Amino acid sequence: MRTDLFDYELPPAAIAQRPATPRDSARLLRTDPLEDHEFSELPSLLRSGDLLVVNRTKVRAARLHGHKVETGGAVEMLLTRRLDGERWEGLIRPARRIRRGTTLSFGSISGKALSDPVRGEVLVELHCESGDVEELLPEVGELPLPPYIHMPLEADDEYQTVFAKNVGSAAAPTAGLHFTPAVVDALRGADIAVAEVELDVGLDTFRPIATTDIDDHEMHRESWQVPEETSGAVAECRQRGGRVVAVGTTVIRTLESAAAGDGMIRPGRGNTDLFISPGYELRVVDAVVTNFHAPRTTLIVMIAALLGERWRQVYEYALDAGYRFLSFGDAMLIDQPVNRGSRIESRE
């Protein structure tokens, strides 16, 4: 399937530069049928007995500014994943001036390149005199905003969801940015349960597909975790005839990677390189809350898998109607994905 089938024209003016204020005042496009709503209306658009599953990952202050110890040359590094103790994967620039063994300084954090950079990606060793590097990052590092966001944050929590608990992501699970405590309270008041999973978001999520055919794209791997209570919540949801509603593409990948048959999920941890493309049959997810995604990315391919041939019509409608796109943009509710199976009997 050709990558250019998942291209569309995204005007720069449609890319949101700031989150909606308040967050739940963002717009929400329901796809079945096409209806304009405000995100605060989400509880009334779901069904009593549904289970909303969110990603509780927290964005790491992973952007570091420093210099090479040998020459004093400026260096910028974006940590993408902690492998173990002192070893990290990251993106570094200027990559052409970094070699294996280059020593680095990021204030109170010292480092050494353990590999030559490849396409900017490098393996480094990081350590500090006192404490753990992870604990120092909020003081030394910055939250890494996507490159299409050109305005600085007014506060760090603008790029964290209300569910954020465990640090591990290089980017926010942006579908969760629309939620407020008031929306969460309204969901529970409408007998809609909320459960958590964890998937550490990597930057490859947002990268354009570089291959001509999507089947040739090498999908990135991300680590996920499903708590016991979330596995149980899915089982309870099935028993009462509710739907499992995934908040964001990261939750979709987590739930589908943890699928255990009959719409259930298994608890535990793992790594996933699941690439959801048209023709994929959802094994767990029944409905989706998500943002509007960039062209030629694995995310828009997933949306095409969820909406089928209608995805382009839905996106054209959203652009014509002035919806805001990408990380700080508006949201979409896909409450009747294609290839969903027959787990839930329609109550329409």
Structure tokens at 119: 């396409």
Is the pLDDT confidence value at 204 over 90?
no
Is the pLDDT confidence value at 75 over 50?
yes
Structure tokens at 342: 């027959």
Given 3.40.50.10800, 2.40.10.240, 1.10.1740.10, 2.30.42.10, which CATH number is that of 63-140? Answer: 2.40.10.240
Q: Annotate 54-87 with three-state secondary structure.
A: EECEEECCCEEEEEECCCCCEEEEEEEEEEECCE
Give Cα 255 to chain centroid, integer Å. 13
Is the pLDDT confidence value at 343 over 60?
no
Q: What is the DSSP annotation of 204-215?
A: GGGSBP-SSBGG
| pTM, two decimal places | 0.93
The helix/strand/coil state of 203 is helix
CB 252 within 8 A of CB 285: yes
pLDDT digit string (tens) for 148-192?
999 999 998 999 999 999 999 999 999 999 999 999 999 999 999
Q: Any idea where the domains of the chain sit in the sequence? A: 3-59+154-334, 63-140
Is the pLDDT confidence value at 346 over 80?
no
The rounded distance, in Å, linking the Cα atoms of 58 and 177 is 12
List Cβ neighbours of 210 (8 Å cut-off, separation of 6 or more): 217
Is the pLDDT confidence value at 341 over 80?
no
Q: What percent of the chain has pLDDT over 70?
A: 97
Is the pLDDT confidence value at 213 over 50?
yes
pLDDT digit string (tens) for 258-283?
999 999 999 999 999 999 999 999 99
- Shortest CA distance to 319 belongs to which of 11, 4, 36? 11
pLDDT digit string (tens) for 5-48?
999 999 999 999 999 999 999 999 999 999 999 999 999 999 99
Is the pLDDT confidence value at 198 over 90?
yes
Task: Give the CA distances from residue 8 to residues 21, 214, 304, in Å, rounded to whole numbers and listed in that order.
Answer: 28, 16, 12
Q: What percent of the chain has pLDDT over 90?
A: 88
Q: What is the mean pLDDT of the chain?
A: 94
The rounded distance, in Å, linking the Cα atoms of 143 and 11 is 26
CB under 8 Å, gap of 24 or more: what pairs does 312-315 form? 312/8, 314/29, 314/31, 314/34, 315/8
Beta strands across the sheet bearing 287-291: 34-38, 27-31, 331-334, 287-291, 244-247, 51-55, 193-199, 222-226, 268-272
Give all strands (DSSP E) within the chain, no chain letters: 27-31, 34-38, 51-55, 57-59, 63-68, 74-84, 87-93, 103-106, 109-113, 121-128, 166-169, 193-199, 222-226, 244-247, 259-261, 264-265, 268-272, 287-291, 331-334
The rounded distance, in Å, linking the Cα atoms of 218 and 211 is 9
Q: Which range, 92-101, 120-129, 225-234, is most confident?
A: 225-234
pLDDT at residue 342 in the model: 53
Is the pLDDT confidence value at 308 over 90?
yes
Tell me the sheet residues that pair with 91.
Answer: 78, 121
Topology of domain 3-59+154-334 in CATH is: QueA-like (3.40.1780)
Task: Give the CA distances from residue 223 to residues 141, 168, 214, 226, in Å, rounded to whole numbers and listed in that order.
Answer: 22, 9, 22, 11
Cα atoms in the 13 Å half-sphere on the side-chain side of 260: 10
pLDDT at residue 206 in the model: 65
pLDDT bin (cut points 50, 70, 90) of residue 345 is: very low
Is the pLDDT confidence value at 203 over 60?
yes
